[in-house]
Amino acid sequence: MTIAANSGEPARGRWRSQAKVNICLRVVGRRADGYHLLDSIFLPIDLYDDVRIEVHDIRAGAQTRIDLRTNDPAVPTDETNLAVRAARALFEARGIGATVSIDLHKRIPAGAGLGGGSGNAATVLRGLNDILKLGLTTVELQQVGLQLGADVPFFLAGAPARVRGVGEVIEPLGHWPAMSLAIVVPPIQVATPWAFDRYREAVPVCTPPAPSEAERLAEGAPPDAGLLVNDLEQVILPAFPEIATLKSRLREVGATAAVMSGSGAAVVGLAPSATAAETIAAVLRSEVPRGLVHVAAIPGVG
């Protein structure tokens, strides 16, 4: 194994870390260990964090020291941060240690269901593999990433996909229409573990339809209000009425369909055109001044 930073010079790089939306999320079962099995459609969007990494003092068998800095006080900088855990997991997998500095400039809100933390972890894995010339394949990086979080493997693939299981089954979509989305994130956070714990209590037995909405979308059914569904809304919307209100408002001001992304709090509105998406966003910006409103253009596939 060749490690670039063994020359004595620090290895460094800068990358963009992408967000995603779920436009469909069905809970289709549970494993014996309690983890939920999902069937979902993931779309990467043009909203990014910036990640800078510098690595030096790399030695086989050494301890790894990681210093993470961020502009967002809501984001932890200790071992609970997925970017920190990603760097440590990769070095442990290769049997090496180093001193690592990570500078994380956040634009993707935390606790929004947009995969910001998972995307950061994937970016750290990919970035370290690149600058240190570790030679790991995407599949090998995904295996490391799955230990960190269910969404991390998707970000290492980085294309529209049907994602199943606990995140390990990623099927790139061969065909997908170009879409314009208006995405609204209210100034609240929803903890993903809480959301799934509440769902487990409320829905003790999963009885998904066959075929699921995600399967139909993956097979080419046009995205519409009947297919943009999220099972977690059953427990999250009653607990967070602000999210339910935003979902209704998106439809009222022109979205053809609206759905919560992931475990929230982001809500995604499907617009009939790019111009309509901008108009919808302008209305919601005035109504949610402390939140984030983003217009995303999803390029077509196939």
Give the active site residues: 20, 151
What is the helix (H) or strand (E) element at residue 286, kind and residue range?
helix 274-287
Nearest-5° Cα angle at 261, 256 to 265: 110
| Three-state SS at 216 | helix
For residue 292, give both structure tokens. Answer: 């984030």
For strand 169-172 and strand 65-70, is the pairing parallel, antiparallel, or unpaired? unpaired
What is the number of alpha carbons within 13 Å of residue 233 lying toward its C-beta? 23
Beta strand segments in 10-165, E: 11-30, 36-60, 65-70, 96-105, 161-165
Q: What is the CA radius of gyration of the chain?
A: 20
DSSP secondary structure letter of residue 115: -
What are the C-alpha distances in Å from 147 to residues 166, 208, 248? Answer: 11, 26, 36
- Residue entry with tokens 């339910």: 244
Sheet holding 267-271, edge to edge: 257-260, 267-271, 179-185, 292-298
Per the CB < 8 A criterion, the answer to whether 97 and 58 are in contact is yes
